[in-house]
Amino acid sequence: METLGQKRDRFTRALAEWILAVNKLPGHTLRLCEALRSDEQSEINAIGNEGRKALVSYLMPAYPELAKRIANNTGSGIRTSLHGDGLAADLQLFVEGKWISNGNDPHWVKVGEMWEAMGPDHKWGGNFPKPDGNHVSIQHEGRS
């Protein structure tokens, strides 16, 4: 059975190979946005906008700089994200210099399918029930 460390090594190698393969497609560029996510960031993402507003109000008097940064955080997610395990990454796709922000765009579909073709446990967020087109991961403990 593969350990988490071994799986993280495999994810890192696969991510590098995939980025290089996508960057070889005419006009395509991938930029890494977020990979390993701290427990603190996972919690901030998980509490959502209303939770962040309450946290900012509480922190502002004593920690104004931290409160401002949390207020500017627009992340969303779950506490148990594979980012926290080092098995997921979010990226930006550019084609001919234009940012492809829509994960349903045919360009994202093409490169997402390239990621999934790399192994049976390689998952692209564009195929999630709640699509997350700029996300790639390797399944772990039933999570994508």
Domains annotated for the chain, with CATH where assigned, are: 1-37+83-144 (3.30.1380.10), 38-80 (no CATH)
Partnered with residue 88 across adjacent β-strands are 137
C-alpha to C-alpha distance for 13 and 15, rounded to whole angstroms? 5
pLDDT at residue 73, as a whole number? 77
Nearest CA to 95 out of 43, 25, 37 is that of 25
Query: Residue 133's pLDDT is what?
Result: 94
Nearest by Cα to 86 from 16, 143, 137 = 137
Do residues 92 and 30 make contact, with C-beta atoms less than 8 angstroms apart? yes
What contacts 143, CB < 8 A, 6 or more positions away? 80, 82
pLDDT of residue 82: 95
User: In the structure encoding, which two tokens stand for residue 57, read together?
Assistant: 């109000």
pTM of the model: 0.86
Two structure tokens written together for 134: 């700029």
Series of mean pLDDT values for 10-residue runs along the chain (144 residues) = 96 98 98 93 88 94 93 78 95 98 96 98 96 96 91
pLDDT of residue 141: 93
